[in-house]
């Protein structure tokens, strides 16, 4: 995760806010980024960016963070076409998912930092087809997800670049989350244990390589721009036990943030966001069961900062959803569907010490 330093008592609230503007859209996101429902994106590390002379953790400093995210997906798409009949028929699949990320970052130097994220998940999936096809039942999965360790470096000298900078990050995703969770399926022949759907499995069963880049730049006055790109490389093709694919995933974000009430540490942001699952991986095979696709969202946010503490809430609202053809779909000549959320609620608290 990217270093997210906060200004200490050396700055008052009015001076602090402009330096924290890019936080408005970046701070809130947990370090584990999940896609909107059945199209699940894993491994994107999202940190916060600040600027000014106090915009960087000094060597030996720490930052702790807690992130929370919630989504409810129930709108089905084949390609970019919504399947309205699913709700009318009562056959829609509903995912209700909660994510909690515990993060800690340590600054080795003012320029280089390393962070680890412990993600936890609790999901409930309601459907007909995973049971007898007539009656709706629920399946759940919870626990530790895939832990992430990432190191980041500021490319420009932090001592001289206070109004704009960018960083590169490289890390690993470890298969610590259970990728073979089972729950009860109520079939016409009785109760049986089966693997829960891949969209609510806490882990994907494979190691991953995380590559990311983030940057910020002052535009004018208290207005700043921000951008982020993150990609998870998953060399393993699939989980042999479940048949679920271990796909590459990605996240792209960008926008503007502005201090509307600097004296009280209040800032607003508005950005664009795209996240998804690749049809084919960069390395390794692309077989196995996967739901490739993406969602694009408009992402408003609000941030309140007080001394070393920062709290943020954002609500990405989907404007485009697309369930793309998978390799399996192409082979069988029929495109599958996926459920997406209308919006996501995220929040975060971070503290520097």
Q: Are 121 and 95 in contact (CB under 8 A)?
A: no
Q: Where are the domains of the chain?
A: 13-352
Sign, CA torsion 26/28/30/33: negative
Tokens for 236, please give them: 């393993």
Q: Which of 65, 58, 148, 155 is nearest to 107 (CA)?
A: 58
Give the predicted TM-score (pTM) of the model: 0.87
- The neighbour count for residue 245, using CB atoms within 10 Å, is 30
- For every residue of 218-270, DSSP letters joined together read EEETTEEEEEEEEEEE----B-TTT-BB---EEEEEEEEEEEEEGGGTEEEEE
Rg of the chain over all Cα atoms, to the nearest angstrom: 21
Tell how strand 249-261 and strand 62-78 pair up. unpaired
pLDDT 10s digits, 127-175:
999 999 999 999 999 999 999 999 999 999 998 888 889 999 999 999 9
For domain 13-352, which CATH number applies: 2.40.128.130, 3.30.420.10, 2.60.40.680, 2.40.128.630? 2.40.128.130
When mean pLDDT is compared across 45-54, 246-255, 319-328, the lowest value belongs to 45-54
pLDDT 10s digits, 317-346:
999 999 999 999 999 999 999 999 999 999
Please give the Cα distance from 172 to 262 (Å, whole number): 38
- pLDDT confidence bin for 37, thresholds 50/70/90: low
Q: Are 225 and 219 in contact (CB under 8 A)?
A: yes
């Amino acid at each position: 995760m990217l270093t997210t330093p906060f200004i200490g008592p050396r700055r008052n609230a009015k001076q602090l806010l402009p330096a924290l503007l890019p936080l408005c859209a970046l701070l809130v996101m947990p370090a584990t980024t999940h896609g909107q429902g059945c199209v699940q994106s894993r491994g994107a590390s999202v940190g916060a960016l600040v600027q000014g002379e106090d915009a960087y953790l000094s060597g030996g400093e720490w930052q702790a963070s807690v992130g929370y995210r919630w989504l409810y997906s129930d709108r089905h798409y084949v390609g970019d076409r919504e399947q309205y009949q699913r709700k009318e028929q009562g056959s829609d699949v509903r995912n209700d998912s909660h994510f909690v990320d515990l993060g800690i970052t340590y600054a080795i130097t003012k320029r280089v930092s390393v962070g680890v994220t412990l993600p936890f998940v609790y999901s409930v999936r309601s459907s007909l087809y995973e049971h007898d096809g007539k009656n709706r039942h629920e399946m759940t999965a919870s626990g530790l997800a895939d832990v992430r360790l990432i190191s980041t470096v500021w490319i420009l000298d932090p001592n001289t670049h206070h109004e704009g900078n960018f960083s590169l990050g490289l890390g690993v995703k470890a298969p610590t989350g259970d990728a073979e969770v089972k729950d009860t399926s109520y079939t016409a022949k009785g109760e049986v244990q089966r693997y829960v759907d891949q969209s609510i499995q806490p882990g994907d069963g494979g190691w991953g390589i995380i590559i990311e880049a983030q940057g910020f730049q002052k535009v004018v006055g208290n207005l700043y721009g921000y951008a982020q790109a993150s990609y998870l490389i998953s060399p393993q093709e699939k989980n042999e036990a479940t048949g679920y694919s271990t796909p590459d995933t990605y996240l792209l974000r960008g926008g503007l943030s502005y201090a509307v009430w600097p004296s009280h540490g209040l800032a607003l942001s508005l950005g664009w966001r795209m996240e998804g699952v690749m049809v084919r991986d960069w390395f390794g095979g692309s077989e196995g069961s996967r739901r490739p696709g993406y969602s694009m969202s408009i992402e408003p946010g609000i941030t309140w900062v007080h001394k070393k503490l920062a709290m943020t809430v954002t609500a990405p609202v989907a404007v485009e959803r697309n369930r793309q053809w998978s390799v399996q779909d192409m082979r069988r000549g029929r495109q599958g569907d996926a459920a997406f959320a209308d919006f996501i609620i995220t929040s975060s608290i971070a503290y520097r010490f």
